[in-house]
């Protein structure tokens, strides 16, 4: 079993819909990143979380350390949000990193 599980694997939404992508992990972590990878290949770190909730524009990320779960929400989704979203954790005893397999989001106009 992968130490970092993301769901769903693929997601298609209509423009304007509320999107939720989930990440569950089975290891102790010091931090969690949500990454966005566009079709061109470039990667952007959207959020780094160690507790609670962060918001940036239409994006919200939450983490529950006790439940070992994080969610990424996109409000009022737009076609330009179409990308692969990847959850990455920094393991807290050795600073190793593990990645989820990614969620491919397609937002249709």
Residue ranges that bind other proteins, judged by CB under 8 A: 30-31, 33, 35, 41-45, 48, 50, 86, 88, 90, 94-99, 101-102
CB of 81 to other proteins, least distance (A): 18
CB atoms within 10 A of CB 83: 22
**Cβ-based nearer residue to other proteins, 40 or 57:** 40
CB of 26 to other proteins, least distance (A): 17
- Give 23-77 as a DSSP string: EEE-S-EEEEEEEEE-TT--EEEEEEESSEEEEETTEEEEEETTTTEEEEEESS-
CB of 30 to other proteins, least distance (A): 8
């Amino acid at each position: 079993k992968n130490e970092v599980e993301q769901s769903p694997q693929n997601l298609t939404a209509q423009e304007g819909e509320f999107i939720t992508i989930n990440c569950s992990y089975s290891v102790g972590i010091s931090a969690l990143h949500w990454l966005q990878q566009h079709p061109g290949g470039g990667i952007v770190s959207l959020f780094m979380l160690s507790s609670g909730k962060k918001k940036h524009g239409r994006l919200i990320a939450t983490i529950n350390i006790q439940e070992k779960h994080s969610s990424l929400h996109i409000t009022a989704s737009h076609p330009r949000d179409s990308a692969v979203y990847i959850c990455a954790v920094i393991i807290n005893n050795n600073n190793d990193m593990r990645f989820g397999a990614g969620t491919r989001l397609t937002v249709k106009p």
